[in-house]
Amino acid sequence: MIPTPALRPWIADVTLMRPDSALPLVHLPDASTTLVYRRTGTHDGDLIAVGPRSQAAYFPGKELPLCIRARMRPGTARQLLGVPVNELRDQSVPLTDLWGERATRLQDRLNELTSPDPILRGIENALLETAENAENVKNAADSRDLVLGQALEALSTTTEHFAALARRLWVSERHLRDLFTDRVGLSPKHFARIQRVRTVLDRAGSTKWAQIASDTGYYDQSHMTADFHTLMGVSPAAFRAGRLPAEQPCAA
């Protein structure tokens, strides 16, 4: 599913799923915060804000009629959800805890709809209203947005050392760390680790492991394997072969 163009600065992608109880749920490490709408019955459903995931999680399969996930671009969730993103790290929080009655009204409207497209439009309209309000109250020349945007780009696409990056952006390392904590929910180092592991996942099967390690800035293949295992719970080869860690009990 494609988010409306007006939301593309805020929303990276939208996914429609119909989870199957026969398949395990695999949640990859993710620097994005995600808004999830789950339809649990004919007119029952809920909205959940899922914060950045510092490492992979594996759960038993759960059958749901419908699940829509809108992944926010790193750095945007603070303004869309109204809380420091580090408070959401590795957490799933009902949107009603963040938006109050506004979320309750939105949830009730979505529960009355019967097909995915109108549900998505309802979610997008609520996010767009919030995004426009955030734009109206913030200073358009906010240097923090410029610094964060450049730092996110650099840590996603290069292997530039964090200290060198802070110097290049003319900010202190502490300022940059605080900015990431507040708006991304992760430290710059952990953000970069997640981006690299996701790149390994994207390229697995199309390139030799040693070449992937070199291209993504690891010292060598063993370094890549160790970092991947820390975040994913298994080696790259084991994950690709479907040998996953034990599933965890699902709280919700």
What are the extents of the domains in the chain?
5-137, 143-240
Task: Identify the DSSP state of 5.
Answer: G
3-state secondary structure of 44: coil
User: Which pLDDT tens digit goes with each residue over 16-67?
Assistant: 887 666 678 899 999 999 999 998 887 899 999 999 999 999 988 777 788 9
Share above pLDDT 70 across residues of the chain, in percent, rounded to a whole number: 93
CA distance linking residue 124 with residue 4, whole number of Å: 7
**Coil/strand/helix, residue 207:** strand
Residue 137: is its pLDDT beyond 70? no
Q: What is the structure's pLDDT at 131?
A: 84
**Amino acid symbol at 192:** A
In this predicted model, which residue has the larger pLDDT, 209 or 137? 209
Burial class (CB within 10 angstroms; exposed 0-12, middle 13-18, buried 19+) of 152: buried
**Given pLDDT bands bounded at 50, 70 and 90, which one contains residue 140?**
very low
What is the pTM for the complete model shown? 0.89
Q: What are phi and psi of 74, to 5 degrees?
A: -55, 135
What residues contact 95, with CB distance under 8 A and at least 6 apart? 35, 47, 48, 49, 103, 106, 107
Instruction: Please count the other Cβ atoms lying within 10 Å of the Cβ belonging to residue 159.
Output: 12
- Residue 141 has a pLDDT of 44
Least confident piece of the model among 32-41, 128-137, 178-187, 218-227: 128-137
The pLDDT assigned to 225 comes to: 97
**Token pair for 247:** 């599933």
pLDDT reported for residue 224? 96
Provide the sign of the torsion angle of the four alpha carbons 146, 147, 151, 154, taken in this order: positive
Task: List pLDDT tens digits, range 99-127.
Answer: 999 999 999 999 999 888 999 999 999 99
DSSP at 49: E
CATH number listed for the domain at residues 143-240: 1.10.10.60
> What percent of the chain is predicted at pLDDT more than 90?
69
Considering the chain, what is the average pLDDT of its residues? 90
pLDDT value for 23: 74
Any idea which of 6-10, 69-73, 185-189 has the lowest mean pLDDT? 6-10
